[in-house]
Amino acid sequence: MELPEPVVTLIESAIAHVYSYSHLAEQTVVLVPSFVDVQVDALSESIGFDKETLSYTLGMFLCYPLGLIMLMLPYGKIKHVFSFILGAFLLQFTIGKQWIHHLLTSLLVYAMLLIMPPKLSKTVIPIFVMLYMTLGHLHRQYINYLGWDLDFTGSQMVLTMKLYSLAYNMYDGHLIALGKQDRAAKKCADLSLNEVPGIIEYLGYTFNFSTILAGPSFEYKIYAAACDGTNVVGGKGKLSNILPTLKPFVISLICMAMFVVGNGMYPLLDPDDPQKNTPVVLTEEFLAKPWLNRYLYTWVSLFFIRQKYYFAWKNAEGACNIWYAGFEGYDENGVEKGSWDNANNVDIIEFETGANVKSLTAAWNKKTANWLTRYVYIRTGGSLFATYSLSAFWHGFYPGYYLFFLTVPFITVCERLGRKKLTPRFDNGKNWGLYRIACVLSTSFVVNYSVTAFQLLALDWSYAVWKSNFFYGHVGCLLFYVVLSNVPSPKVKSS
């Protein structure tokens, strides 16, 4: 749908006005020497990688030697300074002058934290950071619709979670100090803050080099504990970071290789021009194939697409673990609390074998799921609609996001009905019994159908691919709900 001419004129005037300040932003790119840019250009041409992808990949791997330096630095402010400066370097290295968005947002929110009372800032800051990110998403879609070019919106999404959480951390700390904590504040008490962090600590957190490019967005207290060493105090045995660093690093390399090879063999979008050409799964040649062949191709294609997310998250996990940011600390008995989960953003096996949407959500993009749970779900009385709507809003404004995220609650309602009426009848408690296998297959069947819209983005493409699959995900869920609603619940056995 084309916008009216006055609206287009207004938008383009606003964009031109913002662009008029770009020369000022360019002058702030001072951390990346010019010879580095020349070398990256040469390497990009020699290996046939576009410069943006190459810079991003190099930046991800650069986090490991930076992590080693971070590990060797003494605890305290020096770690925060290093975290901030090197995070700024990575942003300037990967997105150039667009790094200024990260700096401006961080400084403006810091001023709000200092000036506003927590009761006000916990509302104003989330609105501000979501609005800023929204303008970034809309700008990207307006000037480069369906494009996959790297820009500041990726890192801005991570920053949005950090600043959104920080506002609520301060509010929860305020309520606890007054003895008026609500249910949400009690649940998040361990993450609450009694005072605004110092500017150096704050910038070290928001620009943290090991999370700046791909996340994960862990809480401020987790970051601060790694910088002051309190998370490694109290253990009875010797703590080693070797395996927690090497394991995700090796997994990330495997996932990267699988994505490069697999996505080339089974592309979902047109490899020559994914932005403008008809997606592979909607070409006449593809649609002429039997439905089962098309379904299996799409399933395999989505599997390989997921590998790029696994690569980014596992790479970042290892980069955090190398300086113990991923370590969860010890309990009162000196025993490790968990399995280095602070920076773990995905459980690959658990996701690929999930038996329901709840399991998938718990295993995929875990820190974003934590953010949504802590600061949306439990703050809105457990509203699935509010949670999934904000998740779609956070991702951007392509119709495919909303088609997917507004379908998931429908699937979830069906699953809850199934757990109520089918699970007591058929589940024998075995990890891989027939009932669980049926749940895994049906979940994969419906979710892969739904998530195709998330990858295609455009409304016409999303609708067309669902239509080519006879809308089986929606029709199946509707039939499942209608039929099971008329099935009596099993009687609860008396003990």
DSSP 381: T
Q: Is the pLDDT of residue 278 over 60?
A: yes
Question: What's the DSSP call for residue 375?
Answer: I
CA separation (Å) from 348 to 21, 166, 371, 405?
Answer: 43, 28, 20, 21
Tell me whether the omega of the peptide bond preceding residue 216 falls within 30 degrees of 0, making it cis. yes
How large is the angle between the packed helices 291-321 and 242-265, nearest 10 degrees? 150
Tens-digit pLDDT profile for residues 412-459: 999 999 999 899 888 887 778 899 999 999 999 999 999 999 999 999
Tell me, what's the pLDDT at 6?
Answer: 82
373-412 pLDDT, tens per residue? 999 999 999 888 888 889 888 999 999 999 998 899 889 9
Work out the percent of the chain whose per-residue pLDDT is above 90: 75
Task: Share the mean pLDDT of the chain.
Answer: 92
| pLDDT attached to residue 425 | 87
Name residue, tokens 């309990």: 331
Nearest to 329 by CA among 192, 222, 217, 194: 222
Residues contacting residue 494 through CB under 8 Å, at least 6 positions apart: none
Tell me the pLDDT tens digit for each residue of 360-369: 989 999 999 9
Token pair in block for residue 318: 């290892």
**Could you tell me if 385 and 402 are in contact, meaning their C-beta atoms sit under 8 angstroms apart?**
no
| CA 289 – CA 296 distance, rounded (Å) | 11
H helices of 179-329, in order, are 183-187, 199-206, 220-228, 242-265, 284-287, 291-321
Least confident of 50-54, 166-170, 374-378: 50-54
Residue 428: burial class (beta carbons within 10 Å; 0-12, 13-18, 19+): exposed
| pLDDT value of position 315 | 97
Q: What is the mean pLDDT of residues 157-167?
A: 97
Q: Report the pLDDT averaged over residues 142-148.
A: 87
Confidence at 167, pLDDT banded by 50, 70, 90: very high
Contact, 462 vs 399, CB < 8 A?
Answer: yes
- Residue-wise pLDDT for 307-325, tens only, equals 999 999 999 999 999 999 9
User: What mean pLDDT comes out for the span 73-94?
Assistant: 97
Q: How far apart are CA 235 and CA 335, in angstroms?
A: 6
Q: Give the three-state DSSP class for 330.
A: strand
For the cut 80, the answer to whether the pLDDT of residue 236 exceeds it is no
Supply the pLDDT for residue 281. Answer: 97
Please report which confidence band the pLDDT of residue 60 belongs to, taking 50, 70 and 90 as the band edges.
very high
What pLDDT score was predicted for residue 400? 94
The DSSP H or E segment spanning 87 is helix 77-95
* CA–CA dist 13, 19 (Å, integer): 10
pLDDT in tens, 279-312: 999 999 999 999 999 999 999 999 999 999 999 9
Residues with Cβ within 8 Å of 449's Cβ and at least 6 positions away in sequence, in order, are 466, 469, 472, 473
Q: Which long-range contacts (CB under 8 A, 24 or more apart) does 3-11 make?
A: 11/142
pLDDT value at residue 234: 83
Q: What is the mean pLDDT of residues 196-217?
A: 95
Q: Are 157 and 111 in contact (CB under 8 A)?
A: no
Among residues 297, 278, 264, which one has the least CA distance to residue 464? Answer: 278
Q: Within the chain, what is the greatest distance between any pair of CA atoms?
A: 76
CA of 295: how far to CAs of 109, 115, 290, 448, in Å?
46, 55, 9, 9
Structure token pair of residue 288: 């002429």
pLDDT surpasses 80 at 1:
no
- Residue 492 is predicted with a pLDDT of 65
